[in-house]
Structure 1
């Protein structure tokens, strides 16, 4: 009978090997991983080879263009990413008594400016013990390296190693200022073919798709204006420069303030799942993240009323 003391101890891989594997998997390139780790490419390759030897299975397929994960490598990355996040959280907790109350958010710019920022004071009023840092860009930041607790991303959800909570009930709707509608009242979609249209390049549903859904072809005239940020499209529309096809979520305050008006009834809107709360699964254990997620759910439950 084998005693507990006779069992072979679990062999832990060197932390440098884990770092080399994670960075190479992230970039798909050993040279890029070496640059991030301040090592030589041969040193990174050596660490990965040692890790594969320890595991007994290849983690990467090597090609002339770089490296790609094998099925075993994909599974190992999912497992290791969670362990690295747990280690980062443990280190943070041990290093500072106050850091657990410092909420670090990253957001897509238009969501951060138009929806989140006007409501942050409500969160602070109900959670005065939590300090907030908010940064905005369209980059998908690295949670550990960039010290991000939660990311609000725009686009199609394709982050299999992360927790993704999609914001529901968002719709793309045609909007215009009251002054523009007074000059050019619109009753049917085809009437927009003769109007100035504002193109939101970042929207997941744009004018070509919307017109196709209504059984119409694109207008022959070019767009009056086009922007790569939704907040610019909405601001231009609020000044009466044209009709915008934009998010009901991002335009909510414009509509509630009377600066923009939905042109058509709800049946002519396009449902989208464009914004997502994204974070490592271990971050859900952080009280500051859990409280923010609960607050977001409450706030979003009151939206989409128009």
Structure 2
């Protein structure tokens, strides 16, 4: 190897090539990526071809219905994920007032409303220099396009290009109001047959799973109420409308206020890993995200699962 080769600086690909790669990897389709970037499909394909030539390896496998990442492409996506967001953040901060820092959060609706929102004032008191911007939906937003620092997602963790920290010790448990239990005799799982059951449609553990775990046949009667948001199921149960099978994490404040109680002992609850703090690799190095992660751990009283 020559001295000139050793002295040569590493080649940095054009920003447009990185954007094209990230969008094609996200959509697994060149045409859809081109729409997002406001380019022609041929221009995006050209950027990808130049990037592959620079790297010296194919990043995508071309298929009839789209493209898929090669092992080299998967590795490259993991390593460059978050770079564009970091650039956007740096640009924003350079144009902001000195000392201003905005933490942009996105959360699953029930987690945002029931767990996060009641505790945000504590975080703000501890970190007055950090402004909070919170949005809630069940969408998995794109960190760069939507300018999100951290996403709190509900579901099964399947985001290989992102860093995922799973909240531990969450359980699906049967809950009811004290008033409901005063007028209803419930001692064992089979006593739920014929009772008013509230269905949480978005919950990872639902009534059929729970009854099967207890060895009880599923009731034939339809659910008395069903909701697409956990906070609505918990609110309905707190009004005495029936029994909810819901997250102990989301119900934490209802239980603390005495508005809901666990119907059975903990050994009849089902462990579930339903909520995850998700962000691009490298975001944890920023002050605002690092402070938020440490604060959430303190509120939960335990570390995350990695």
Which TM-score tier does this pair reach, normalised by the shorter chain? over 0.9
Instruction: Please say which of residues 6-15 and 146-155 is displaced more in the overlay.
Output: 6-15
Distance in structure 2 (CA, Å) of the matches to 1:300 and 1:55: 43
How many correspondences in the alignment? 302
Aligned to 2:293: 293
Aligned to 2:58: 58
SS at match of 2:193: helix
Deviations 1:55-93 (A, max 9, x none): 222111112211111111111111222433443343333
Aligned to 1:84: 84
Aligned to 1:253: 253
Aligned to 1:166: 166
Distance in structure 1 (CA, Å) of the matches to 2:5 and 2:188: 80
Structure 2, gaps ≥5 residues long: none
- Pair 181,6 (structure 1): closer, same or farther in 2 beyond 3 Å: closer
Describe how 1:163-202 pairs up with structure 2 within 5 A: 163-202=163-202
Distance in structure 2 (CA, Å) of the matches to 1:180 and 1:96: 53
Structure 1 contact 168–273 (Cα < 8 Å) conserved: yes
Distance in structure 2 (CA, Å) of the matches to 1:100 and 1:143: 20
Distance in structure 2 (CA, Å) of the matches to 1:58 and 1:3: 29
Aligned to 2:215: 215
Structure 1, gaps ≥5 residues long: none
Aligned to 1:101: 101
Structure 2 contact 175–245 (Cα < 8 Å) conserved: yes
Distance in structure 2 (CA, Å) of the matches to 1:127 and 1:246: 32
Structure 1 contact 190–216 (Cα < 8 Å) conserved: yes
Task: State the shift of 1:287 in Å.
Answer: 1.1
Aligned to 2:140: 140
Aligned to 1:117: 117
- Pair 129,99 (structure 1): closer, same or farther in 2 beyond 3 Å: closer
Distance in structure 1 (CA, Å) of the matches to 2:222 and 2:6: 77
Structure 1 contact 85–282 (Cα < 8 Å) conserved: no
Structure 1 contact 22–77 (Cα < 8 Å) conserved: yes
- Pair 126,14 (structure 1): closer, same or farther in 2 beyond 3 Å: closer
Deviations 1:183-214 (A, max 9, x none): 11210110001211011111111111101111
Distance in structure 2 (CA, Å) of the matches to 1:82 and 1:128: 26
SS at match of 1:106: strand
TM-score (norm 1): 0.94
Structure 1 contact 173–248 (Cα < 8 Å) conserved: yes
Distance in structure 2 (CA, Å) of the matches to 1:213 and 1:269: 10
Structure 2 contact 104–149 (Cα < 8 Å) conserved: yes
Describe how 1:226-237 pairs up with structure 2 within 5 A: 226-237=226-237
Structure 1 contact 102–130 (Cα < 8 Å) conserved: yes
Deviations 1:74-118 (A, max 9, x none): 111112224334433433333324575211111000000001111
Structure 2 contact 176–262 (Cα < 8 Å) conserved: yes
Distance in structure 2 (CA, Å) of the matches to 1:114 and 1:15: 40
TM-score (norm 2): 0.94
Distance in structure 1 (CA, Å) of the matches to 2:244 and 2:83: 45
